[in-house]
Structure 1
C-alpha cells in the first residue's frame, strides 16, 4: 500500500487515471441510483395506469362479474401468476367475502373506500386498489398484490441499470488508454533525449508536442544551447592552445636537431637524447589534442563508401616503421574487402589510433592482425594484438582522456582511445573491447561495427 501511495504521489499519469476513475465511479453510482429509483417509480405508475385501463374497459364494455367457487390457488407453484393476477369485484360484494384472506373472491375490501387509488391490507397481504364508479352507478374495485407489483418494478429497474454496468468498465478502459496516449509524447521525448550522444546537442523538435509540454522543451533547448556553447568554447580553447604550442615545440625540435649535429661531448649527447624524446612526446600530444578537438566538433562530415582494406594499407604504410623497430609481425588477415559508410578521414584516424595503440603496447617480437568480416548485416573491423590486454575493471575508463593503464612504461598521451570513441559516437559506430586469448586473458582485441555501403567484394 505504501508503494502504491508513493507511485501515486510521484506519477501524474497514475494520479490522473485514478482521479478520473474515481470520478467516473462516483458519477456512475449516483446515476445508477437515480436511474433505479426513476425506473422503479415509473414501473409503479405504469401498473397504476393498467389498473385504470382495466376499470375503464370494464365500464365501457358493460361487463358483469361472476366469482369462481373455491380457492383461486392451492399451491405455491402458481406464485409466478401473481405478477399478472388482477382482481375485479364489486366493492359492495366485499361484505359477502367468505374469509379474511386473499384465497377466494370477492376479497374483503372496506366498502367505504373512496374512488381512486389506495393500498389496502387483506389477510396480511397488501393490495393496490383502484375504486371506480361506473356509468351504471356501480362501484368496482380493481386490485393487484403490491408484492407482485414491486417484483416487476425491481426487475424493470435492474434492467435499466444494464447499460451502466456495460459502459462503466468500457469507459474505464477508454479513459486509461486515453491517458496513456496523452502522456506518450513525453515518453517518446524522454527516449529520444536519452538515446542522444554527448555530441548531439541540437534542439528538440517541439512542433508536434502539446502546448503544456512546450515550455519545458523550450527550457531544455535553451540548456542544450548553453551546454553546446560551453563545449564549443572549450574545444576552441584546446585547439587554439595546441596551435599556439605547436610552433614553439617545432622550434625547440629544430634547435635540438641542430644541437645534436654540433660537436659535443658524449655526456652532452647522452643528456640531449631525453630532451629530444620529451619534445617529441609534446608534439605528439599536441597533434592528438588537435585531432580530439576536431572529431568532437559538431560539424557534420560527409559520408561516402570507403574501402576498409585501402584504409588498412595506408595506415600500415604510415606506421610500419614503428612496427619494424619492435620487430612486430603486423598485417591484414583475409582477402575479403568491404565498403563501409563513413567519412574517409574519420575512418583513417580511427584505425590509425587503434593500430598505433597496439604497436605501443605489444611487446617486441609480438603480433598484430587486422581483419574485416560481415557480422549480422554490419562490417566488423577487428584489430588484435599479443600485448597484455586491458582488464575488465579498466575497460570503461580507458576511453577517458589522458587515462593510461597502470603498470605500463610505454610513453603515450592517453588520448588515442578517446579519439576513437569520439569518432564512433559521431558516426554511429559501435566499439567492443575483449581479449585476443580469452583463456589466458592476454592480448587486446578491439572490434568496431560500421554500416555497410555495398556487398562485400573478394
Structure 2
C-alpha cells in the first residue's frame, strides 16, 4: 500500500516537472525564434549598405564592378569572421564579387528573401535581394552563420534536452528520497502494528505519529480499546463460570467416587454397606448379581462424566488465565525445567502404571524465565494427553535440555514423546484449535489440552511444534523457548 502510494506521489510530482521541462524547451525555442527574427531584420538592414558598397568600374577595362565596403558591412564581417560572407551576382546568376558558395536563385522581385545554406559544417542564414547598386541592378546576398535558430537546432541535445533530462532525473531522485523520508513515520507505524503480539492491545502513542496520521492512530486506539474490552469480558465470564463450577463439581465428584467404591465393594461381599447410597444398602443381598453389576456400571459412567466435567472446568479456568493480558505485567521467574519434569513424573506415575505405560524421563539441568504455574500447566496437559491416547504397553518420555539452533546458538526445549497413534500431518494445525479433536480419536477428551499448551507457549514467546515420534510412530510435541 505504502509503496504504491509512494510511486503515485512520485509520478504525480515528476509528470509536472516533465511538463515544465517541455514548456522550457518551447520557451527556449521561442526565444531563439525571436532572436532569429531580429537577426533577419539586421541582415535586411545591412543589404542596402552592401549594395551601396558596389561601384561602377570607371577606370577599369573589364565590366566587373568595384567593391568599397561600407563601414557597417566591414564591421559585420569583422565581428563574424569565419561565419559570414557575401556575394554579388548579376541577373543571370553569374558571380561578380564575394563567395561562390553563396548561390541562390535570382529573386523575381525587389523584396528581400531568406534562405539557409550548408557550408563547411555550418548552416548559414542568407538574405538575398535584387536591388540597384552603383554598377546597376544586381543581386546582393549576405550570409551569417550565427543564426540563433540554427544554433538552437544544432545544440538541441546538448543545450536543451540533456540539461532538462538531467534536471528531471535529479528532481525525481530528490523527490523519491524526500517522499521516502516523509513516509518513514507511516512505515514505522505499519511495521509496529504488524509486529504486535495478538494479545497486545495497548494504545499507540499518538504524539509520535505525524499530524496527518493521528486520526488513523486515534481510530486504531479506539478499536483496540473496544476489542480489549470485549475480550476482557469474555475472559472474565469464562474464568468466573469455571471458578464457580469447580466447587460443586469437586463435591459431586467426591460423592460419586465414594458411591463407586461402595458399589465395587458390595459385589463380592453381597452384604449391605454402611452409608451406601439408596438402592445399595438393605436390598443388596436380595438384588441379583446382574442387577448389581448394572448399577455399578452406571455409577462408573457417572464417575467418568464428573471427572471429564471437572477437568473441563479446570482447563477452561487455565485457558482463561493463560489468555489474560495481566500476565505481561507479572515479573517472570527463573524456572528449573529439570525439577519440573521430575515433579510431573511423580504426579503422573500412578496413572501411567495403571494403564501399563512406561513413563520415562530424559532431562538435563536447564533454566528458563517464565510463569511457573503456567509452564507446569502446559507440561501437565502434554503429559496427560500422551498418557490418555497412548495404548497399553506404550512408552511416554518427558525431556528437557538444550538443542542447537538452526541457525543460532543452542536453545532450551521441553518435549513430550509417545508411541501412540499420533496425529496425521494434515491435522496438526487444526488440533491446536480449541475443542477440536481428530476424527476417530480414541479415549475421552475435551479438545483443550493442546490449545492451552499452545496459548501458554505464546505467552512465553515460545514455539510449540508437533512432529512424528521415533521411527515415525506416535507424536512428539516440542516447545522451544526464546533465547
Q: How does the TM-score come out when normalised to structure 1?
A: 0.74
Larger Rg: 2
By how many angstroms is 1:28 displaced?
1.5
In 1, distance between residues paired with 2:33 and 2:102? 30
1:405 counterpart = 2:438: yes
1:190 counterpart = 2:190: yes
By how many angstroms is 1:408 displaced?
2.5
Q: 2:17 maps to what in 1?
A: 24
Deviates more, 1:389-398 or 1:98-107: 98-107
Q: Which has the higher contact order (CA 8 A, sep 6+)?
A: 1
User: Aligned to 2:319, which of 279, 292, 298?
Assistant: 292
Q: 1:366 maps to what in 2?
A: 394
Alignment of 1:22-421 (within 5 A): 22-39=15-32, 41=34, 84-87=82-85, 99=95, 103-104=99-100, 126-127=125-126, 143-145=142-144, 150-156=149-155, 158-161=157-160, 162-259=162-259, 260-261=261-262, 262-263=275-276, 264=280, 265=284, 266-267=292-293, 268-299=295-326, 300=328, 301-333=330-362, 336-371=364-399, 372-376=401-405, 377=409, 378-421=411-454
In 2, distance between residues paired with 1:234 and 1:338? 36
C-alpha offsets along residues 27-49 of structure 1, whole Å, 9 cap, x if unaligned? 22112221343356558869999
Distance 1:19 1:257, change over 3 A: same
Structure 2: runs of 5 or more not aligned = 46-66, 70-79, 119-123, 129-139, 263-274, 285-291
In 1, distance between residues paired with 2:116 and 2:301? 127
C-alpha offsets along residues 49-108 of structure 1, whole Å, 9 cap, x if unaligned? 9999xxxxxxxxxxxx879xxxxxxxxxxxxxx98333479x9x999x962786359999
User: Aligned to 2:464, which of 422, 426, 431?
Assistant: 431
Structure 1: runs of 5 or more not aligned = 1-6, 53-64, 68-81, 130-140, 453-458
In 2, distance between residues paired with 1:101 and 1:446? 109
Deviates more, 1:168-177 or 1:142-151: 142-151
Q: How does the TM-score come out when normalised to structure 2?
A: 0.71
In 2, distance between residues paired with 1:443 and 1:341? 30
Structure 1 counterpart SS, 2:430:
coil
CA RMSD in angstroms, aligned pairs only: 4.2
Structure 2 counterpart SS, 1:203:
coil
